[in-house]
Amino acid sequence: MATPIGNLSDISARAIEILSSAGNIAAEDTRVTRRLLDHYGITARLMAVHEHNEQRAAGDVLALLATGANVALVSDAGTPGISDPGARLVAAAHAAGYCVCPVPGANAAAAAVSASGFLSPHFLFYGFLPARSSARRTALKALDALPYTLVFYEAPHRVAECVDDLAATLGAARRIMIARELTKLFEETHVCTMGDAAAWLAASEHRTKGEFVLVVEGAAASVPDAAALDQTLQALLEELPLKQAVALAVKITGGNRNDLYQRALVLKGDA
Ligand code: SAM
């Protein structure tokens, strides 16, 4: 179930109800979750389920479920299983035939996308990029042509380097939103071109501190080169009847059938 990413009020009434009644809570770091539970006056048994013990802890959770107990799963902040532990335990519960119910709530990626104003109806949540610059640039090159908003998590000590790599691989002209410390006291969201992002971060030492989501505008949908389209259509028209030439041109170029048909008429001089 989701827990807040900063502001403790960002927890649903249903999540509080479930945490209060679950009896057992599997938590990434029991000290962090204890603070949240104390804030809401909730007493429950906490068991640690983190990156390094998830497989073994899953066995303990399944044993509890077998007794008929309910177990709530939380991470330190936000939604478990999203750049956080949880997926292995959830998979084990599914495999054993138990019902797994999501309790939605805070998620840093969704919060950042909702504040970006980027218009693409699609976004790709990438999470953390590789820590080393060369591997990061390789990973970014694979995303370069995607026409979707891209969403990255980044650690504060790497954010400046990451922004440099984003500009170098995806292009300085694309827009980025740097979302820092969402829902917290020093929250900032700043939209600029990637070429200007390094200077914005460097303008104050506070700007490279805290937690970050980087939201990058997707690649502009590629506009087919009109001359190349004409050349393809012309070559096909020389060999084939008009309808067949257009059908093949649609397959080859991925262009719009009606547009290509109209253009074919012009090239044949029939329009
Ligand atoms: N499971 C969490 C979620 O649902 O968002 C993400 C956990 S991941 C280990 C932690 C990363 O999420 C941080 O390094 C940062 O990139 C991002 N993040 C978490 N809280 C944030 C916040 N309040 N503001 C900006 N980014 C945040």
Total number of domains constituting the chain? 3
Are both 240 and 212 inside the same structural domain?
no
Three-state SS at 214: strand
Does 157 map to a domain? yes
Q: Are residues 205 and 141 in the same domain?
A: yes
Report if residue 7 sits inside a domain: no
Q: Which residues contact 18 (CB under 8 A, 6 or more apart)?
A: 1, 72, 103
Tell me the CA–centroid distance for residue 63 and ligand 1, in Å.
31
What pTM value is reported for the model?
0.84
Residue closest to 216 by CA, chosen among 173, 181, 182, 271: 173
In a domain, 247, yes or no: yes
**One domain, residues 88 and 126:** no
Q: Give pLDDT tens digits along the chain (271 positions).
A: 999 999 999 999 999 999 999 989 999 999 999 999 999 999 999 999 999 999 999 999 999 999 999 999 999 999 999 999 999 999 999 999 999 999 999 999 999 999 999 999 999 999 999 999 999 999 999 999 999 999 999 999 999 999 999 999 999 999 999 999 999 999 999 999 999 999 999 999 999 999 999 999 999 865 566 777 888 889 999 999 999 999 888 878 777 788 889 999 999 886 5
How far is 173 from 151, CA to CA, in rounded Å? 17
Same structural domain, 74 and 136: no
Distance 4 CA to ligand 1 centre (A): 10
Other beta carbons within 10 Å of 270: 8
Residue 217 CB–ligand 1 contact under 6 Å: no
Residues 116, 183, single domain; the answer is: yes
Q: What is the CATH number of the domain that holds 157?
A: 3.30.950.10
pLDDT for 270: 67
Question: Is any ligand 1 atom within 6 A of the Cβ of residue 260?
Answer: no
Out of 71, 95, 119, a domain closes at 95
Claim to verify: residue 45 and residue 87 sit in the same structural domain: yes
Pair (43, 128) in one structural domain: no
Helix (H, G, I), strand (E, B) or coil at 42: coil
Q: Is the CB of 153 under 6 A from ligand 1?
A: yes
The verdict on 115 and 212 lying in the same domain is yes
65 in a domain, yes or no?
A: yes
Burial class (CB in 10 A: 0-12, 13-18, 19+), 250: middle
Confirm whether 3 is domain-assigned. Answer: no
101: in domain? no
Minimum CA distance residue for ligand 1 atom 13: 211
Does 38 fall in a domain? Answer: yes
- Under 8 Å between Cβ of 62 and 93: yes
Per-residue pLDDT, 249:
87
In a domain, 6, yes or no: no
pLDDT of 250 reads: 83
* Cα 211 to averaged position of ligand 1 atoms, centre (Å): 6
Phi first, then psi, for residue 249 (nearest 5°) are: -65, -35
Identify whether residues 20 and 62 lie together within a single domain.
yes
- Choosing from 56, 71, 95, the residue where a domain stops is 95
State whether the beta carbon of 115 lies less than 6 angstroms from ligand 1.
Answer: no
Same domain, 211 and 112: yes
Alpha carbon 81 to chain centroid, angstroms: 12
Spatial neighbors of 67 by CB under 8 A, at least 6 apart, are none
Distance 8 CA to ligand 1 centre (A): 14
Q: Which two tokens stand for residue 169?
A: 């691989």
Determine if ligand 1 sits within 6 Å of the CB of residue 212. yes
Range of the domain at 245: 226-268
117 in the same domain as 210: yes
Beta carbon of 149 within 6 Å of any ligand 1 atom? no
Residues 89 and 125 in one domain: no
Ligand 1 proximity of 189 Cβ (cutoff 6 Å)? no
Q: Is the CB of 154 under 6 A from ligand 1?
A: yes
